Amino acid sequence: DKYFTCKFRFGHVKVKGVTMPKRFAEMEEDITNWEVNDGDIWVCSFPKTGTTWTQEMVWLIANDLDFAGAEENIQIRVPFLEISSIFDYRDLRKTNKDFNPPVFLDDSLGYIKSLPSPRLMKTHLLWKMLPKQIQDGTKQPKIVYITRNPKDTCISYYNHARLLEGYSGSFDTFCRLFLAGKVSYTPFWDHLFSFWDRRHLPNVLFLKFEELKADLPGVIRKVAAFLEKDLSNEQVDKLTEHLSFENMKRNPAVNYELVTDLYKKFQLTQAPDGVFMRSGQIGEYKVKMTPEQIKEFDDWTEENLRGRDFSFDI
Ligand code: A3P
């Protein structure tokens, strides 16, 4: 474990069998006991599966395609519930006096609590870590879950870890940590099945990154129906265009420049030239993984899908 933590900027802990950034322990109870609202919308996912893409789609549909309003940063419009646990901004402030993090980073739960309903938010928590009221059905905010095939997810996560988590190990080591359930929010399959097994709940919608790539207008219509919003064909076309990879890559409200520039400025990154909106492809593993790595992922996938009614079809 010493070997493992030295490769990341922050340490990890196990919470309910899930690997989490160490600071999450400070937030866990507050989140569990938090009184949530029925009208809120949650975007839930394992990291790097298309969360930002889904956040932007959900926000725009929920806000009747307010493209002017969407110029505000996504982290303000659809804040990340547990972001404060991922990085210790307090430490950084001690050594960098001019460092003044925005409130949505410094106290993310407090920030979300201060917002008027209906609130939109993002979380990477597994179902069993969501507020009790959601788990027992007392409150039923709408939940949009997105997933992505694990090989591409792992490649994207490796780049993310270098860019934002100070990860300094090799890609091969990262694959091993991912498969062994030692990077944040793993085990991957526990995460996925915790929502897949609840996909029939009326307040849960389950999506795949591959589905957005194949038929974005179809997914937009599905999400609009789920959020009880009507969209004309013209609106669907406009939103499809707005959500293209090229447009999102150059859109500062969603491309995470705000955060990556900060990390670069304070030299907290292992990837000074890295970007958040990297390639947005399906099947990149075919060129980025060795045949051995692919086999390990495929065997692990087969094992975890045995007897299950789920597949990625890629
Ligand atoms: P890559 O690193 O493979 O490029 P998340 O938001 O969950 O962190 O996921 C980030 C991944 O989604 C990145 O994958 C990013 O490029 C991809 N992505 C974001 N917006 C996209 C879009 N409009 N089209 C395709 N991929 C997108």
Residue 140: Cβ-neighbour burial (10 angstroms; 0-12, 13-18, 19+): middle
Tell me the pLDDT tens digit for each residue of 137-181.
Answer: 999 999 999 999 999 999 999 999 999 998 999 999 999 999 999
124 catalytic per annotation: yes
Predicted local confidence at residue 103, as pLDDT: 76
Q: Which two tokens stand for residue 85?
A: 């646990």
Beta carbon of 198 within 6 Å of any ligand 1 atom: no
- Ligand 1 centroid–CA 6 distance in Å is 27
Cis preceding linkage at 272, omega within 30 = no
* Nearest residue by C-alpha to atom 12 in ligand 1: 50
| Contact predicate 56/70, CB 8 Å | yes
Is 46 within 8 Å of 153 (Cβ atoms)? yes
pLDDT number for residue 5? 55
Ligand 1, residue 244: give the atom nearest the CA.
23
Give dist(CA 252, CA 250) in Å, integer.
Answer: 6
pLDDT more than 70, % of the chain: 97
Atom 26 of ligand 1, nearest CA residue: 280
50 lines ligand 1 (CB under 6 A): yes
Sequence letter at residue 287: V
Handedness of CA 25, 30, 33, 38 (dihedral sign): negative
Q: Which of 59-73, 104-118, 187-201 has the least mean pLDDT?
A: 104-118
Residue ranges and CATH numbers for the domains of the chain are: 2-239+252-305 (3.40.50.300)
Residue of 230, 276, 236, 262 lying closest to 93 (CA atoms): 262
> Which of 278, 285, 288 is the pocket-test mutation for ligand 1 (most atoms within 8 Å of CB)?
278
Q: Which atom of ligand 1 is nearest to the CA of 46?
A: 7
CA distance 167 to 160: 9
**Which pTM does this prediction carry?**
0.96
Q: 3-state secondary structure string, 255-267?
A: CCHHHHHHHHHCC
- Look at residue 175 in the predicted model and tell me its pLDDT: 97
Distance 211 CA to ligand 1 centre (A): 13
pLDDT of residue 198: 98
CA of 48 to the centre of ligand 1 (A): 7
The active-site residue, picked from 124, 160, 191, 200, is 124
278: Cβ below 6 Å to ligand 1?
yes
Ligand 1, pocket-test mutation among 46, 242, 277, most atoms within 8 A of CB: 277
Q: What is the ipTM of this complex?
A: 0.99
Q: Cα separation of 125 and 120, whole Å? A: 15
- By most ligand atoms within 8 Å of CB, the mutation choice from 243, 245, 288 for ligand 1 is 245
**% of the chain surpassing 90 pLDDT:** 82
The residue nearest atom 22 of ligand 1, judged by CA position, is 245
pLDDT at 95 over 60: yes
